[in-house]
Amino acid sequence: MMNELASARPSPIAGTWYSANPSQLRETVDAYIDQADPPDFPGQVIALVAPHAGYRYSGSVAGHAFKTVKGNVYDYVAVISPLHQYHPQPILTSAHRAYQTPLGELPLAKSKLAEIDAGLTARAGLGLTTVANDQEHSLEIELPFLQRALSGNFELIPIMVRDQTRETARILGRVLAETLKDENCLMVASSDLSHFFPQSKAEQLDDLVLQALVDFSPNRLFDLKKQGQGQACGLAPIAAVLWAARAQGATNVTLLKYDTSATASGDTSSVVGYGAAAITRVD
């Protein structure tokens, strides 16, 4: 059921995951974007895959994703993330009218969320569940990058996926494609990669996941997880965005940057993997 609160969602992570000081946050995000040197990629960016750790750890990798859309103008941005906390419902969005970051408010695209809710209900009988004052970091962490990289104003389509099954991801991807097919919209899949393996093992697991991503194979992502050969906490968001982007004519995925937390921490005994990718359509 879609309910709306008049308030903006306050940030639960400003001051910890990233700076709560607006000028410092602007400088930090701008530096990550400006210093990024992503490889060439074909066509127009339809969607991005970006990590969601604290900026100290994954900001440099995220900068490579958002560098590819710097200066672009979009009417909508859909950020698809996991939901790390337990919730009984499979797919959620914010009950608030906007997201608040130290860089300002981002209004929600209520009409598009209502269309997505209706599409999910028609196809799977599950709909979008609204939540107030959620603590989810993986969606919010992308927002300051969007606020600094993009030109003009846009409305936000925030979607948090708790049920990370293949079928739920496929249905969500189909509904996103139908809802956004004629819109000027960027999709962002928020995901980190392997968690807490030694560096060499993490690189092995992450390489398989990133290869499936580059090969535009959402099904293989789920196969790798089932076989214990790869993991991503936003696997369903990545898969849903791949399916949606393919339905919108995207044909290529370019890996922009890979790194692990060891670069920031110096600890190679237990790392988290981070990847950035651009999903593109050749018009």
Q: Which of 203, 178, 187, 204 is nearest to 239 (CA)?
A: 187
Q: In this model, does residue 87 exceed pLDDT 60?
A: yes
| Tokens describing residue 95 | 């009950």
State how far the Cα of 48 lies from the Cα of 38, in Å rounded to an integer: 13
Beta carbons within 8 Å of 177's beta carbon, 6+ residues apart: 243, 244, 245, 247, 248
pLDDT exceeds cutoff 50 at 133? yes
Q: Which of 283, 2, 58, 18 is nearest to 140 (CA)?
A: 18
> Given a cut of 80, is residue 4 above it in pLDDT?
no
- Distance (Å, rounded) from C-alpha 58 to C-alpha 138? 12
Beta bridge mates, 279: 47, 253
Calculate the average pLDDT of the chain: 96
Helix or strand holding residue 65 (H, E): helix 55-67
Which domains are present in the chain? 32-281 (3.40.830.10)
- pLDDT at position 215 over 80: yes
For position 28, what pLDDT does the model report? 98
Query: Tokens 């030694």 identify what position?
Result: 198
Q: What is the pLDDT of residue 192?
A: 97
Full DSSP string of 96-163: SSEEEETTEEEEB-HHHHHHHHHHHHHHHS--PEEESS---HHHHTTHHHHHHHS-S--EEEEEEE--
Alpha carbon separation from 261 to 17, 73, 268, 276 (Å, rounded): 14, 32, 8, 14
State the average pLDDT over residues 77-105.
Answer: 96
Q: Quick: pLDDT tens for 11-25.
A: 999 999 999 999 999
- Rounded to two decimals, the pTM is 0.96
pLDDT of 65: 98
Average pLDDT over residues 277-283: 94
**What does the pLDDT average to over 153-157?**
98
Question: What length is written for the chain?
Answer: 283
Query: What are the C-alpha distances in Å from 102 to residues 13, 14, 21, 63, 106?
Result: 10, 7, 7, 18, 11
pLDDT at 3: 61
Match 């807490």 to its residue by tokens: 196
pLDDT at 1 over 60: no
- Closest by CA to 128, choosing from 167, 77, 168, 188, is 168
Determine what percent of the chain is predicted with pLDDT higher than 70.
99
**How many angstroms separate the CA atoms of 154 and 162, rounded?**
25
* pLDDT computed for residue 2 by the predictor: 55
What percentage of the chain carries pLDDT values higher than 90? 96
Bridge partners (DSSP) of residue 50 are: 190
Predicted pLDDT of residue 25: 98
For residue 162, what are the CA distances in angstroms to 49, 59, 93, 103? 18, 24, 11, 28
